[in-house]
Amino acid sequence: MTGISWNHAFAELPDLRVHYVRHGSGMPLILLHGWPEFWYTWRHNIPALAESFDVIAPDLRGFGDTDKPDSVPAVETYVADLAAFADALGLARFGVVAHDIGANIIQPFARRWPERLSGLFLFNVPYPGIGRRWADADHLIETWYQYFHQIDLAADIVGTSRDSCRRYFRHFLSHWARDPHAFDADLEAWVDNFMKPGNLRGGFAWYRATDAGRRAMIRDGAPAMAPVTTPTRVLWGAHDPILKPQWRDRLDQYFTDIRVDLAADAGHFVHYESPALANREIAAFFAGRGG
């Protein structure tokens, strides 16, 4: 961990205790992580953004130090969690910075409650327009984990020992980043987190929640649906092997007000791999959007 004294807190939702870190003041920005992540994935971003914004980085349901309910969630569960979390913190309107899972969750939220959002800044977005490409023959080798995580013994296998956990997460953190050593300094923090009781199973639960929708896209193609109308900025890592940058081609069919750019020196984890770029672009996008 860094030498920063992080401000940890908990929000009591009706059915969930949510852990979060909060720094700064001004317009609220909620940072929503992906997999394999937890709030600490934003460690390069929180201090810089907190100079201008009220930055709030929660652990999603099942992740980090947030509760791990036994029930299998649906995507709508995570969406409702976000609404309840914002209510618990007294946030009527806020901006969202989201990556991977977080970017997936915020899309149905934005369709349902656009009035609550001042803007969306998204990294490497799983969105409906990916469609059948999830199962392209040349891409199947990358998506194996999405099915492995749904097997009951997956968490037991990965969590057999600290070494097995380390090997598992090193694979994703090195393979999905442009620089395979990008996470070397923080690898033990990731192992510490996912070796906590319930954290492997809690994170893997996301893939059960999204399985039916992903299979439907593979079977039937990209679905038509009402687009997100919230102003949106996307920064997509040019070297992401799991969410391919060429898949950004249909974003304008699902977002009405969107600008999309590539992060030339990053893979899947743009906010972590290229934090100076990410922080500069996030701050510029949200400047003046607090009204």
| Catalytic positions | 100, 207, 268
Half-sphere exposure of 1 (CA within 13 A, CB side): 8
- List residues bridging with 262 in a β-sheet: 236
At 240 the three-state DSSP class reads coil
**Dihedral angle over CA of 104, 1, 21, 68, nearest 10:** 60
Alpha helices in the chain (DSSP H): 46-49, 75-88, 101-112, 144-148, 154-158, 162-175, 187-194, 199-220, 270-273, 275-286
Do the bridges between strand 94-99 and strand 8-12 make them parallel or antiparallel, or are there none, so unpaired?
unpaired
Q: Look-up: residue for tokens 């009591």?
A: 12
